[in-house]
Amino acid sequence: MCGIFAYTGKNSKNAGEVLLDGLSSLEYRGYDSAGMFLPESGVVKSTGAVSHLRRKMPAGYFGKSGIAHIRWATHGEPTEQNAHPHKDCTGDIWLVHNGIIENHKELREKLSKLGHTFISTTDTEVLTHLIEEHLKKEKDFEQATLAALREVKGTYGIAVEYVAEPDKIIAARMGSPVVLGLGEHERFVASDASPILKHTSQVVFLEDGEIAVVTPDRHEIFKLDGAKVDRLAEKIDWNVEAAQRGGYQHFMLKEIMEGPEVVKNTLRGRLLEKEGLAKLGGLESVADEIKKAQRMVIVGCGTAYYAGLTGEYMLEEHAGIPVEVELGSEFRYRHPVLNPETILLAISQSGETADTLEAIREGKRRGALTLGIVNTVGSTIARETDAGIHNHAGPEIGVASTKALVSQLTALALLTMFLGRQRSMSIETGQEIARELLLLPEKVQTILDGRGKIEKLAKKYVKSRDFLYIGRKYNYPIAFEGALKLKEISYIHAEGCGAGEMKHGPLAMIDEHFPTMAIAPSDSVYEKVVSNIEEIKARKGPVIALATEGNDEIKDLADDVMYVPKTLEILSPILTIVPLQLFAYYFAREKGYNVDRPRNLAKSVTVE
Ligand code: G6P
């Protein structure tokens, strides 16, 4: 999740300072490099934080307008060369971009043939050359930008500068947010309102498929077909932090609410629906070795470990490869049997968790093929594994992992298709999973839209001091993850349990004060879970059931019911986890805790 910020003013302010200051409030979006361009002073870029960029700014770096960027790499390593702004061949057109250009390879080839020279390995750079190409014909900056954007597939929030018209910024939005700030003889363009608020509270939010032409006293908005759009400015009264949270009370809620977008971004460009295939560019170089592998060991910690456990069910059932799942902290002290026919797959949001990293290093020493499902591009695990899948989930700030898990499960489903279609999975099954994956964003949205009911339930149960979470098969790991979410942010005793294991011990704890969350979607083990719920009800234990929409009979059994839309069994964890995240969130918030920063915990555990 990169951040863009642009400024144009007719006053004594130095655009360089305004931009630098604004970039600092965008740093929460994640950063590996930053850069800016002022037509009057040129470009400056650096890897690392915004403070590094400040140190590199030459004395006298000054201008009245400019564009700036904070990068969180998706395509291309986090280097200075790949940092934005990017320029065209003439050095007259400069651009910053948040998003992913999906057809960048085709465009790059086409433009290279026309004689354009590329400096970076980013998808973004094609945009500058595309505008340059159109400018040759159109002779008009706005028309050239419009024409270029019509050729582009993917997502973007961009700001463009053309040195011949230095007080003008062109901004455009498709899938990545862009907001305009309207000040006195000054205008701003940004990925969110946080860098704008200190200057003005008057903003205009662009919508998808819109382009804005911005000068210090004016802004005009058009659709991509050139039709003019009239939109009134809005006044927002958020502070900077609230703006960073997108107006939500906590990052955790914002990140749960990003679920549909996260699924889309993880899937983007990776599904060949007709062929029933997953196209995973990051695995291409080792596709043959993957095909030959006899076994897979998945390692992770915390939430990533539960993602791995769910992956075990997916991969064994649909790809026919034996899978074991290990906690990073255990793996490194055992004597794991690994060989070149073993795939060692690390799952990690941060890519820096020490135990997971050490597991990968140990696996390498023992000759395994190491793969990663990692959210943070350029992180140590991403760099040290032989190949992998990036989540593209955007940075996660809430300590309790939510959207990263949704993305990890989606990536595991893709990996299952990838391996499965190399092995025993039929084209029909591949097509069925692909079709259903594409429907998931909408289904996650349905759950999110019904969050008011989950909030009420959390309030009803908030006095409980214990909670049991039960599930079977695909939802066995989800029971553990649901319990982990509740304990880590609300500090109550919550326990996950395989539903079938209840009678081997945990059932003894049940009484009228000990509620159970029973994950019971309509799948192949539904009847079994229902029997387990009956056992609990017979001991007077309160039960909240998490069931599939349309299942009314469960209302007679459970005290309360939360619903998820119907989907394939293999994909059901991607839906069932969402109400459990929301339940934990509202429960902890009701208790008045700092949900984003639970006591005693850290977002990334880089020590043993
Ligand atoms: C910490 C975080 C968890 C996370 C775990 C693994 O404990 O609080 O939310 O699941 O680390 O982190 P990773 O970055 O490797 O996914």
Is 607's pLDDT higher than 70?
no
Find out whether 233 and 182 touch, Cβ atoms under 8 Å: yes
Residue 339: the pLDDT is: 87
Residue 167 burial by CB count (10 A; 0-12/13-18/19+): exposed, middle or buried? middle
CA distance 142 to 192: 23
pLDDT of residue 326: 96
* CA 391 to ligand 1 centroid distance, Å: 15
Average of pLDDT values for 97-117? 95
Q: Is the minimum distance from the CB of 358 to ligand 1 under 6 angstroms?
A: no
Q: Per-residue pLDDT for 138 more than 70?
A: yes
Q: pLDDT tens digits, residue range 246-275? A: 889 999 999 999 999 999 999 999 999 999
Distance (angstroms) between ligand 1 centre and the Cα of 353 equals: 7
pLDDT band per the 50, 70, 90 thresholds, residue 32: confident
Which residues, 6+ apart, have CB-to-CB distance to 54 below 8 Å? 20
The owner of tokens 């050359």 is 129
Q: How far is the CA of 301 from the centre of ligand 1 (A)?
A: 6
Q: Is the CB of 304 within 6 Å of ligand 1?
A: yes
pLDDT tens-digit map of 521-552: 999 999 999 999 999 999 999 999 999 999 99
Output the pLDDT for position 394. 84
Ligand 1 midpoint to CA 489 (Å): 14
d(CA 357, CA 355) in angstroms, rounded, equals 5
Average pLDDT of every residue of the chain = 94
What average pLDDT does range 49-57 have in this prediction?
Answer: 93
What span, in angstroms and rounded, lies between the C-alpha atoms of 83 and 99? Answer: 14
Q: Return the ligand 1 atom nearest residue 353 CA.
A: 15
pLDDT confidence of residue 600: 82
Overall average pLDDT of the 298-304 stretch: 97
Active-site residue flag, 2: yes
**Out of 71-85, 197-211, 217-231, 579-593, least confident range:** 71-85
**This prediction's pTM:** 0.82
Cis geometry, peptide bond prior to residue 521 (ω within 30 degrees of 0): no
What confidence tens digit (pLDDT) does each residue in 588-605 have?
A: 999 999 999 888 877 777
Q: Is 489 in the pocket of ligand 1 (CB under 6 A)?
A: no
Helix (H) or strand (E) segment spanning residue 403: helix 403-422
> 192 CA to middle of ligand 1, Å?
27
- 199 Cα–ligand 1 center, Å: 37
Active-site residue among 2, 64, 254, 403? 2
> Is 608 a residue whose pLDDT tops 70?
no
pLDDT > 80? residue 489: yes
475 lines ligand 1 (CB under 6 A): no
Residue 581 Cβ < 6 Å to ligand 1: no
Comparing 31-35, 431-435, 464-468, 541-545, the range with the smallest average pLDDT is: 31-35
- Assign 575 a pLDDT band (cuts: 50, 70, 90): very high
Write the residue with the smallest CA distance to atom 7 of ligand 1: 302
Q: Whose CA is nearest to atom 4 of ligand 1?
A: 302
- pLDDT tens for 201-229 read 999 999 999 999 999 999 999 999 999 99
| Residue 380: per-residue pLDDT | 86
Mean pLDDT of 58-81: 89
pLDDT tens-digit series, residues 468-479: 999 999 999 999
603 lines ligand 1 (CB under 6 A): yes
223 assigned to active site: no
- Nearest Cα residue to 42 out of 18, 71, 66: 66
**CB 41 less than 6 A from any atom of ligand 1:** no
Question: Among 581, 587, 265, which Cα is nearest to 400's?
Answer: 581
User: Is residue 431's pLDDT more than 70?
Assistant: yes
Indicate left, alpha or beta for 209 from its phi (over 0: left) and psi (-120 to 50: alpha). Answer: left
Which whole number is the average pLDDT over 140-158? 95
Residue nearest to atom 5 of ligand 1 (CA): 302
**Per-residue pLDDT averaged across 387-397, rounded?**
91
